[in-house]
Chain A
């Protein structure tokens, strides 16, 4: 999204254990994430980006596989910077 400012940090604040995702039947993160950061791979795993995250938390809220998705805030000063929020 070219219209939003992101101060991308070096540490990925989203971590996905794709092994766990393979057994997930819903893969709800793929459609629910408003930043479209999650994609299903051909082997049923999940590929993800963290760089253009709005930090809303929807992905971990809809994740139904324990331990599949770890979500923390980006390091201080990094991540999305809204101007018109």
Chain B
């Protein structure tokens, strides 16, 4: 722990609140630029409060940590990626296997966030950033003109002064809320993820999920949440399988269903249960996910303050693509670089920090979000979950049901019948098809 943390005289170039992937990336960028930077983590170690749901895509690190894969705490390299559309008794799966994803430069990994986040924060420390753990940033400190110039912490005499504060304090970001950038509560733009981690011997995992020794599977699921907008996931680590459900917070509250019931349902599903037979429950976790996308993002900068990662709503929940850690790292790196530039030009006002946003507009961080801005509304729509998942499964079942001696029905007749059976209106279906086509074009 740095001795001068509590020194009232010390003014850090930047105090980064939260040492998750956004905070660690910001710390790394600032330390590499020769700035003094302190990361403040509320957990006993970075990652101890963090949960994810499937895959970390770390190519964003290529430029700052070349060959990061040599020492990253990888559980398995995802070489099998499935999308499963299900009802209580059916499942239609699109399954992609790509052996290339199991070789450098790799595509996605499974990991444990306490390992991954601590590893990344360690890289920042190695580059010269300071880290204090077990410390909550309880509020912003402002100067006489209202500009942010530090944070209060729950350590005795724990006010920390900084030229810029970077709020990487996660989905509940109380700093962004205090700054008026995020609403106090926003159930419409958040989902709740709950996850069970089950122990199984590695060779059993590899046999059941048809994987090689360091290869992993990630399944994203739709239609396993009792009509509550959301979905499910399953991914394999070295000797565990994680099973989770993600549901709209509003939908969950309205349905009056306990999240544990949803995950228990999923664990009993005929497409899932055999893979987990005999497994022992190791951990249960829950976390909120900001799923409002581009339209729900807060203002990213005010005088002396930047917001990055989940605090800035940077999870991409676009159905086909479900990513967050990479966006956190990308925004953290951009925030660190922007702060360093602002300090060099001696202007840490919102204007001086403006390169944060503009640099991200030219990278995947905001470009992907901008392109997918209609996705959250589509992916979390009631129709998609309550009607289309059943429609698609029934259609598939009917196509492959052989009803001899009757001749095969025509596809158009099957579709008409299935659409009618599910009470779907053609006009809605056509509209949603156009909307979906526009989002994913």
Contacts and interface: CB of A to CB of B under 8 A. Distances in A.
B281 interface: yes
Chain A interface residue number, banded: 20 to 34
Contacts of A55: 49
Interface string B111-146: 011100000000000000000011110100000000
A82 B260 contact: no
Contacts of A78: 134
A73 B40 CA distance: 14
Contact of A72 (B155, B174, B252, B281): B174
Given A55-B49, A73-B42, A82 B285 contact: yes
A61 B195 CA distance: 19
B155 A61 contact: no
B171 interface: yes
B192 A34 contact: yes
A74 B135 CA distance: 10
B133 A77 contact: yes
Interface string B19-63: 000000000000000000000001110011111100000000000
Interface in B273-324: 281-288
Interface string A61-85: 1110000000011111111111111
Interface in B248-291: 249-250, 252-253, 256-260, 281-288
A63 B253 CA distance: 9
A56 B250 CA distance: 15
B282 A81 contact: no
B51 A77 contact: no
Contacts of B369: none
A31 B187 contact: no
B48 to A, nearest CB: 5
A54 interface: yes
A79 B133 CA distance: 13
B185 A63 contact: yes
A15 to B, nearest CB: 15
Given A56-B192, A83-B114, A75 B259 contact: no
B44 A77 contact: yes
A77 B43 contact: yes
Interface string B186-229: 11001010110100000000000000000000000000000000
For the complex of A and B, 7 pairs with smallest distance between CB atoms: A77-B134, A34-B286, A28-B253, A85-B51, A54-B286, A62-B253, A76-B134
Given A4-B285, A81-B48, A82-B49, 12 more contacts: A3-B283, A7-B44, A28-B256, A31-B258, A32-B249, A34-B192, A57-B288, A58-B249, A58-B286, A72-B174, A75-B154, A84-B285
